Amino acid sequence: MKNIRNVAIIAHVDHGKTTLVDAMLWQSGLFREGQEVRERIMDSMDLEREKGITIMAKNTAVIFGQVKINIIDTPGHADFGGEVERTLTMVDGVILLVDSAEGPLPQTRFVLQKALGLGLPIIAVINKIDRSDRRPEEVLDELYSLFIDLDAEENQLDFPVLYTNAKVGWAFSSISEADAAKNGSLELLFRTIVKHLPAPQGKAEDPARFLVTNLDWSDYMGRLLIGPLRQGNLSVGQIVTLLKNGQVVKTGNIKALYSYEGLSRVEVQMIKTGDIAAIAGFEEAFIGDTISDSLYPGSLPPIQVDEPTLAMEFFVNTSPLAGKEGKLLTSRQIKARLDKEALYNVSIRVAPSSSQADCYQVSARGELQLAVLVETMRREGFELSLGPPRIIISEVNGQKHEPLELAVIDLPEEFLGLVSEKMSSRRGQIIKLTNNGSGRVRLEIKIPTRGLIGYRSQFLTDTKGTGLLNTLSLGTIPWLGPIKGRPNGSLVADRTGVAVIYALYHLEPRGTIFISPGDPVYPGIIIGENSRSDDLKVNPCKEKKLTNIRASGADEALRLTPPRRFSLEEAIEYIREDEMLEVTPKSIRLRKRS
């Protein structure tokens, strides 16, 4: 047990967590010289690699001297906070990574608050020290201020600080040392982990207690339960008890045990106190359950996660084009897939919708988390329809409350007035404005969650792609009144057919077109945005009438403005209450509710 360390790497999105794990794996001797290994090894999902973010927490293990270090790479985006909360129950300490220029940001606050609440010791790592705009002294001061603001205990304020360049795999104890060095390694980081983070505290002689914090699947052994062994030891064939909410569900024997070595899961005969491992043999187990000694059964504290803030309706695709591009179409198949997601994802909730039959309300932390679920489903072959995202309203002392968020915005000074005006119109309240003299300013704004729905893509347009918008949940606030929604109406097709260039060319003066010539249309499909506030029914299939008279220049080629194409996240943000999305493996279509 003394030769085990369980550590999570936590940070705001894009501060270098996965890159640092890559470097730690390389320097642990996991890969042979000359072996071809892709960057961001831990981001194994296609969506993670495409978006450049970590979505699911994943664990690996390296050996440093005689010590096994179990490392867990966590997501940095606020929408996947449930993964962070689940992960922190597995470890005995954390590495808090902060960008040397950006400093602590909203998700830094969220993950640090969770770690401090669990009493976990912390190693602060100021990363990207090679940046030309670095400001490590100020960032360290901001870190101390953040610890104090979060009511850290006195012993938690005594944390070691390292300076790293994760991209090249260097770690130093000071900036001057880093600047003077010609090369380096992460040995100092490994030594700091072993010295400053405690070994697991459980005792091998106590009755076994294993907390299920994640689930996986093996084609040979079925469901695998992943988590830390808090106390006792476990062996293959040992009779143990599965407890759910403190109640015994099943008693049976362990079919197989797996330990982690590097990126591999290795079958073993026994796991010891403190290790993070996987157990096979209990198909009934879920995240938060306990595997316990059968003679002295007992539960570990369950995993606690923050409640969802947004909900969206999932139901069968009912458009005239249904069934032409997907293979999984029925309500039963959609429900089974959503139930599976709720099983593996602790921050997702699935419930029958009260609005219509065969419709399911999926609740989550944010639009990105919902978009990732939908994108995963469409890649699996699903066709489905989606309603617009809605905030989850709660009632406190008979008063309606809505979710509140802290929006931290970093943008060039020239866009400050425009963005402030837009946020104000969405019930946002500026609480802090910082100008560091670099031509950019940082705004901190309290704003209801519904005020941010549909704003992210508009924000990028307003700042010409130069602004950064990050958010952090602040709980709830009494309902702040109506917020003005999308000001423009829709151009809605009034017939079935195929869009033609002649019709689209003459519809362009009406607004912005979303489709191309040759795209199929049907009554109710949204083919563009009206320049006015009302909806307008149009005919995108209208062809030019043919005559036997030819005028000079009449046959010149018509040139269309390129259509506006939506990503899935943008489409989810865009639709209004009377609209919905048709999502298939090949297409994303906006349509009116029938």
Per-residue pLDDT of 466-488, as tens digits, reads 887 877 778 888 988 888 877 88
Phi and psi at residue 553, to the nearest 5° = 80, -5
Of residues 32, 56, 30, the one with CA closest to residue 42: 56
Domain map (residue ranges) of the chain: 4-196, 209-293, 394-478, 490-545+557-580+588-592
Sign of CA dihedral 312, 317, 321, 327: positive
pLDDT in tens, the chain (594 residues): 568 888 888 887 777 777 888 888 777 655 444 444 444 444 444 544 444 444 455 677 888 888 888 888 776 555 555 667 777 888 888 999 898 888 888 778 878 888 888 888 899 999 888 888 888 888 899 888 888 888 888 888 888 989 988 888 888 888 887 777 777 788 888 889 888 888 888 888 888 889 888 877 777 787 888 888 888 888 988 898 888 888 888 888 889 898 887 767 888 898 888 888 888 888 888 888 888 888 888 888 877 777 788 888 998 888 888 888 888 888 899 998 888 888 777 778 888 887 777 788 998 877 778 888 888 888 889 999 998 888 888 888 888 898 888 888 888 888 888 888 888 888 888 888 888 667 788 888 898 988 888 787 778 788 887 887 877 778 888 988 888 877 888 999 988 989 888 888 888 888 888 988 888 989 989 989 988 888 899 898 888 776 655 554 444 467 888 888 888 888 888 888 888 899 998 888 999 887
Q: Alpha-carbon distance 162 to 188, whole Å?
A: 8
Please check whether the two domains, 4-196 and 209-293, share a CATH topology.
no
Looking at domain 209-293, its CATH class is mainly beta
Tens-place pLDDT, residues 46-68? 544 444 444 455 677 888 888 88
Give the span between the Cα atoms of 561 and 187, in whole angstroms.
56
Residue 294: DSSP 8-state: S
* Domain boundaries 490-545+557-580+588-592, corresponding CATH code: 2.40.50.250
User: How far is the first Cα of the chain from the last one, in angstroms, to the nearest whole number?
Assistant: 62
CATH code given to domain 394-478 = 3.30.70.240
Question: Which class is domain 4-196?
Answer: alpha beta
